[in-house]
Structures are given as C-alpha cells and as structure tokens.
Amino acid sequence: MTYAFITGIPTAGKSYLAGKIAREHGVMHVDTDSFRVEMEKDPALAPWVNHFWNMDEEEYLGRPCEDRWREDVAQFEAFWPFTASKIKEIMRSVPVAIFEGVGLLPSIVSRDFQFPGIVLLGESLEVTLERNKKDPRWGKTEDLQKKEAESFFLCEREKYKKEGEQYSWQVFSDISEAELETLKILGLRR
C-alpha cells in the first residue's frame, strides 16, 4: 500500500500533476478539495465551505498576509476531521493513491498519516497570474485576479514552503521535478 500527498498554493499544478500520474500509471487521484460538496451539507462545516465567497474579496485581500493565512489554516483545520475520515475510507479499499488539495498542510496531515508528501510552490508570479486568469478562484476583475495571484505567490507560497520543510515534505517550484519525486514516493520510479 503506497500513498502520497500533494499540496501547495492554488494554480501550482497539484491537480494537473496528480491527474497526469493517475492516467499514466493507473493510480487513484483524490482531489480532497472536492469533498467540500459533501461538507456543505454539514451545518457545522457549511460556513467554512462558503467562508471566502461570503466576503468582500477586495477587503479580504487588503488584509495583512498573516491574518489571511490564519483564516486559511482555520478553514483547513475545520475541514480536517471530515477529510481524514474520507482518506481513511479510501485507503481501506485502494492500495495506491495520490491525495491532493490546498488544505493538506503537513502540520495537520502528520497528526493522522505518516506517508510522505510534496509541496508545489508555483513557478513564478507571472505564471500564477496567468493560470488564475484562465480559471479564477474568486476574482471577477483582472485587478482582483492579480491581487489574488499575489496573495497566492507572495504570501501563501512562503507559508507552504515553511510547512513542507518543517515536516520533511519535498518542496518544488518545478513540476517536472515534483513528478519524479511523486513517482518515487509511489514506488513507480527509482
């Protein structure tokens, strides 16, 4: 039984990487962010599922990085019991899987699971912005999409990097290198 986690900033390529490996090697790809659909049905979790969409984006993005990160972590913590139970359920029936999502912080994951993970940091602010414009997470205007990309790359990126390094997860800006490491973790490459 072999499993891997992939986390990192939005737009870094987590879903792309997990999907590519899943298609090419017959590995199950689990997008843990998709669990939010089920979590929204839980009255205790529903406010967290819609937390950011219920805010004024411009006001939120104007807050200091540390404040925004604390809210992100609070959301990830709120989701974790549900997410961990779903991961355990999948592990009972699937011998090899990649679990990917933004909320899989090493500090949270390591409480319940001991298998390794990787952290994707994104290539550059420019690439982060271009990917965000193609698939906006939140911002409806180009200015807000730029602020959001800056939040991902200039704020969250350092937080994910620190988390990864502190918990001995490999940290990557280059997705090709991340792919090789993920294949090693899964025993699909030496």
pLDDT tens sequence across 144-176: 999 999 999 999 999 999 999 999 999 999 999
Q: Where are the alpha helices (DSSP H) in 62-187?
A: 65-91, 106-109, 125-134, 142-150, 157-166, 175-185
Please tell me the distance from the alpha carbon of residue 130 to that of residue 3, in angstroms, as a whole number. 31
Mean pLDDT, residues 121-147 taken together: 91
Q: What is this structure's pTM?
A: 0.94
The verdict on domain 2-185 having CATH code 3.40.50.80 is no
Mean pLDDT, residues 128-142 taken together: 87
User: Quick one: which of 35, 118, 114 has its CA closest to 79?
Assistant: 35
* Predicted local distance difference test score (pLDDT) of residue 50: 87
* Predicted local distance difference test score (pLDDT) of residue 30: 98
Give me the sign of the Cα torsion angle 107, 113, 8, 53.
negative
Please tell me the distance from the alpha carbon of residue 179 to that of residue 172, in angstroms, as a whole number. 10
Per-residue pLDDT band for 190 (boundaries 50, 70, 90) equals low
Residue spans of the domains in the chain: they are: 2-185
Mean pLDDT, residues 98-123 taken together: 96
Please tell me the distance from the alpha carbon of residue 19 to that of residue 29, in angstroms, as a whole number. 6
Mean pLDDT, residues 53-75 taken together: 94
The one-letter code for the residue type at 76 is: F
pLDDT above 70: residue 38: yes
pLDDT tens sequence across 65-92: 999 999 999 999 999 999 999 999 999 9
